[in-house]
Amino acid sequence: METTLEMKSNQLVMTSSLQRQKWCANQFLYKFQNFWFPLTYLEATQKVLENFKPVPKDVILASFPKTGTTWLKALLHSIINRSPKQDYNNNPLISNHPHDLIPSLETNLYDYNTKKTEFLSVKNHKDVRILATHIPHQILGDVLNSSECKVVYVTRNPKDTLISLWHFVQKSKSFGDDPWELEVAVDQFCNGIVLFGSYYDHVLGYRQECLKRPQKVLFVTYEEIKENPEYYVRKIGEFLGCPFEGENGDVEIEEIVKFCSFENLSNQEMNKSSELSSMFPLPYNSFFRKGEVGDHMNYLDDEMIEKIDGVTREKFHGTGFVYGI
């Protein structure tokens, strides 16, 4: 279906005719540069592209939704802001939800409210801004490459990502009583019609950039961090130029892993809160569900699994990225 988006005069004018598809909860997604966006994120993405200028010390956490963004926000904050005598009882992650502490470009900083835009000119005490984004590399690449900033990309296997997303969107206030049938969700996911999708193209865009510029982009997976969090905390520290050294480094890594674990973070009052978060019409606790690898097996039947695996084989394995099955 073709439609023309009419923007108000004080917003960015988009003259192109964009393809539109119904997604879930009576929401529409719009196709922009081969990816699908809800209208609000599309407008925000346009603003990011027009206005965001990364500086060399910026650390950008990029991800497709539901692949471990919240966890990585906590890990990056802890790795970058650690101090020799860290007092974890006073850690900002105790009193702040990770999403309030580390803003996302399109959902916090360049959304229609732009209420937190001042963050962009504020530097924390380590002189590093940690910013997150779901915008695909195919769209944001030129902006990211306009400075020496570092990018950490996290991904997760497609079936757990979809199940996590399926649970998440149904917690939305805007969902109403329109059910998002899992069968429909699987088909949409396989066809790439999902917010910031296609998932596969999103992952491949950042992966290719990591292969091209390994000093600039670090590509990690949810499953490998789960398997060996200490190794990845060390690796992220090295990648960001703040390596863990000596015995003290080993202790710091252990503390960060424990502090950022699902068990610990999901039990903090702020993260348990059913209050609506400041950036989405969703409760704070909706970002912490189960935090496990393989939960899709509790929801997807054999036919759904075969359908997703088929696309994974074609999209990932077919391009030499053996992941996701």
Work out which of 71, 153, 206, 219 binds ligand A3P, going by CB under 6 A.
Answer: 71
Nearer to ligand A3P, 55 or 201 (CB): 201
From 77, 134, 202, 296, the catalytic residue: 134
Q: Is 313 helix (H, G, I), strand (E, B) or coil?
A: helix
Q: Does 188 bind ligand A3P (CB under 6 A)?
A: no
Work out which of 100, 224, 255, 295 binds ligand A3P, going by CB under 6 A.
Answer: 295
CB of residue 319 to ligand A3P, shortest distance in Å: 23
Q: Is 138 helix (H, G, I), strand (E, B) or coil?
A: helix
Q: Is 223 helix (H, G, I), strand (E, B) or coil?
A: helix
Work out which of 30, 32, 200, 287 binds ligand A3P, going by CB under 6 A.
Answer: 287
Active site residue 134: yes
| Residues 6 or more apart in contact with residue 215 via CB below 8 angstroms | none
Nearer to ligand A3P, 156 or 234 (CB): 156
Q: Per-residue x/- marks for ligand A3P, 38-67, CB under 6 A?
A: -------------------------x-xxx
Please report, as a single letter, which amino acid is at residue 289.
R
Sign, Cα dihedral of 245, 251, 253, 259:
negative
Site size for ligand A3P (CB under 6 A): 21
Report d(CA 256, CA 195) in Å as an integer. 31
Work out which of 291, 299, 305, 317 binds ligand A3P, going by CB under 6 A.
Answer: 291
CB of residue 13 to ligand A3P, shortest distance in Å: 32
- List residues bridging with 63 in a β-sheet: 154
Nearer to ligand A3P, 32 or 64 (CB): 64
- CB count in 10 Å sphere of residue 4: 10
User: Burial code of 88-112, b = ≥16 C-beta within 10 A, e = fewer?
Assistant: eeebebeeebbbbbbbbbbbbbbbe
- CB count in 10 Å sphere of residue 258: 12
Work out which of 171, 289, 307, 317 binds ligand A3P, going by CB under 6 A.
Answer: 289
Nearer to ligand A3P, 99 or 315 (CB): 99
Report d(CA 82, CA 77) in Å as an integer. 8
Q: Does 155 bind ligand A3P (CB under 6 A)?
A: no
Report d(CA 40, CA 43) in Å as an integer. 5
- List residues bridging with 36 in a β-sheet: 31
Work out which of 153, 239, 284, 288 binds ligand A3P, going by CB under 6 A.
Answer: 288
Residue ranges that bind ligand A3P, judged by CB under 6 A: 63, 65-71, 160, 164, 167, 260-262, 265, 287-291, 295
Catalytic residue numbers read: 134
